Amino acid sequence: MSNSKTMTVLRANLWTNNPIFIQILGICSTLAVTNNLRNTLIMTVGVTLATGLSSMTLSALKDLIPRKVRMIIQVVVMSFYVILIDILLRAYLPDVSKQLGPYVGLIITNCILMGRAEAFAQANRPLLSLWDGLTSGLGYMAVLMAIAVVRELLGFGSLFGIRVMPQGFVTWTIMIMAPSAFFLVAMVMWWAKSIQARNTADAKPAAKEAGK
C-alpha cells in the first residue's frame, strides 16, 4: 500500500468524492439523529466502523463469494458488524442506545456501506478497503457533525447538552424538527459544490497558460 494512494483515498472521501454532498449516499438513516450532537457523534462513529470493517471483510472474501448471491452475503456481513455495534451500545451506553432506537439497526441499509463495498472493496485489497471505509465514514461524520452543531445550537441552545446560548435566547423549534435537516444538507451541498466549481474554473485557465 503506497503512501500516495492512501492520501488520494483520504482526499477523495473527505472532499472531492464526499459520500454526502457528491455521492448523496446514506442520508436516510442518520439525519434523524442530527438534532443532538452526542447521538450524531456516536451514530457516525458506528457507521464509520461498520463501513471500514465490512469493506475489509468483503474485500478479503471477494474471490470466494459467487456473483449470484453477492448482495445477500454483503448484507449479512454488514448486519454482523452492526449487531456487534448494537450490543456494545446497549452494554455501555444504554441511554444513547434507547434514544437512537431503530436507527442503529438501520446502519445496515445505509447506502454508504453497500456503496463502498461495491465500488471500492470489489477491486482493492483488504487493508486499503478498510482505510477507504474509515475515511468515507469520516467524510460523512464531518458533514453530519456540522449539521448537528447548527441544529442543536439553534434548536436547544446547547452543544453536547451544555447550554451555551445566553438566557434570553429563544430556541428555534423548526431546528428540532425534520425539515431543517433537509435544508441544512442542501446548504452544505450548495456550499461544497460552489467551491468545487470555482476551483475547477480557476484550474482551467491556469492549465491553459501552462500549456502555452
Partner 1 sequence: MTPLINPITLFFASIFTSNILLSNFLGTCSFISISKDWKSAFGLGMAVMVVMTITTAISWLVLTYVIMPLGLEYLSFIVFIVVIAAVVQILEMVIDRTSPALYLSLGIFLPLITVNCAILGAILFMQIRNYGFVQSVAFGAGSGAGWWLAMMLLSAIRERTDKSPVPAGLKGAGITMITIGFMAMAFIGFSGMIAVQ
| Chain residues that interact with partner 1, rule: CB under 8 A | 21, 24-29, 31-32, 71-72, 75-76, 79-80, 82-83, 86-87, 101-102, 105-106, 108-111, 114, 174, 177-183, 185-186, 189-194, 197
**In terms of CB distance, is 42 or 185 closer to partner 1?**
185
Q: For residues 137 and 152, what is the distance between their CA atoms, to the nearest angstrom?
A: 21
Q: How far is the CB of 71 from partner 1 (least distance, A)?
A: 7
Q: How far is the CB of 181 from partner 1 (least distance, A)?
A: 7
**In terms of CB distance, is 149 or 192 closer to partner 1?**
192
**In terms of CB distance, is 165 or 192 closer to partner 1?**
192
Cell for 117? 463495498
Distance, CA of 163 to chain centre:
27
**In terms of CB distance, is 49 or 128 closer to partner 1?**
49
Question: φ, ψ for residue 34 (rounded to 5)?
Answer: -75, 10
Q: Is the dihedral of CA 98, 89, 141, 28 positive or negative?
A: negative
Three-class SS state of 166? coil
Q: How far is the CB of 101 from partner 1 (least distance, A)?
A: 6
Q: How far is the CB of 17 from partner 1 (least distance, A)?
A: 14
Q: For residues 34 and 28, what is the distance between their CA atoms, to the nearest angstrom?
A: 11
**In terms of CB distance, is 86 or 152 closer to partner 1?**
86
| The Cα angle at residue 136 between residues 130 and 140, in degrees rounded to 5 | 145
The DSSP code sequence of 9-20 is: HHHIIIIIT-TT
Longest dimension (CA), the chain: 65
**In terms of CB distance, is 8 or 173 closer to partner 1?**
173
Q: How far is the CB of 126 from partner 1 (least distance, A)?
A: 23
| The Cα angle at residue 204 between residues 200 and 206, in degrees rounded to 5 | 120
Q: How far is the CB of 81 from partner 1 (least distance, A)?
A: 10
